[in-house]
Amino acid sequence: MPQYKRMDIKETINMAQLPQHVAIIMDGNGRWAKERGKLRVFGHQNGVAAVRDTVEGAVEIGIKFLTLYAFSTENWNRPKLEVSALMELLVNTINKETKTLMENGVKLHAIGDLGKLPDKCRSRLQEAMEKTAGNTNCTLTLALSYSARWEITEAARQLARQVQAGTLSADEIDETTFAQHLATRGMPDPELLIRTSGEQRISNYLLWQLAYAELYFTEKMWPEFRRTDLFEAIADYQKRERRFGLTSEQLTK
Ligand code: IPE
Ligand code: IPE
Ligand code: MG
């Protein structure tokens, strides 16, 4: 940040042009812990504070949808110990953080193959979603046991079933109907994707929904990410020209 002191970054954001939906790939917990001579789980534990501050930051400026990649389909293949520690952390965090969600008017939502989660995890999640269902400031979606290819395949299967049952004709399937069968139905597509830890890839996240998202990568590891980093990403996003296939001249006409 050469131009502004970090404290001032919020002032540089144009509140009239906020993205409605910000998606984040929270990455780098393991490396952050290893750099400190700790176990990977220590990184996940410290990632919770980053989630809390980011959610509060999103509410503070008025982001309506925040979607966090918390656990991918592929993450099930990690060592058993890490997977169970992550599931445990999830249960405890959902318990503890429901209060923060209520205070901030945040509605909790989850997308992914939730049937694969341990029962306790799923029931805690369900409780927190029910408790926060009436909140309207921001929808916080956790992508859990999620992968975009899983989601797209599920949508295709649902549509095929309807065609098979004769309740839908194949010709009626367009981008709108397809999107209505995705886990994110009813949400606007993310305008901005943030990934921490310096990795520059999508890792099977929201492949359909990110079609025209602006991508923002930061070297920061997830446990160190805070609301000012979110604000920096949004300020950067606002400097970009989103052309959607048009020419720059068409946009300024
Ligand atoms: C992100 O951090 C959290 C999850 C994927 C659950 P990582 O655990 O991927 O940390 P790195 O990328 O190995 O440092
Ligand atoms: C992506 O991170 C999934 C989550 C952040 C939950 P990974 O660390 O699993 O992604 P890859 O394997 O490095 O692409
Ligand atoms: Mg990683």
What domains can you pick out in the chain, each with its CATH number?
20-147+190-239 (3.40.1180.10)
Flag whether 139 is marked binding.
Answer: no
Is position 75 annotated as part of the catalytic site? yes
Kindly state the average pLDDT of the residues 188-198. Answer: 98
Is position 8 annotated as part of the catalytic site? no
| Report field, pTM of the whole predicted structure over 0.85 | yes
Query: b/e string for 206-228 if b means 16 or more Cβ within 10 A?
Result: beebbeebbebbbebbbbbbbbb
Residue closest via CA to ligand 2's atom 14 equals: 203
pLDDT at position 132 is 98
Q: Is the pLDDT of residue 2 over 70?
A: no
Indicate which residue of 75, 137, 189, 236 is catalytic: 75
252 confidence band (pLDDT: 50, 70, 90): confident
Q: What element of type H or E holds 82?
A: helix 80-103
- Three-state DSSP state, 46: helix
6 confidence band (pLDDT: 50, 70, 90): low
What is the C-alpha to C-alpha distance for residues 130 and 101, in angstroms, rounded to an integer?
A: 12
Q: What element of type H or E holds 107?
A: strand 106-111
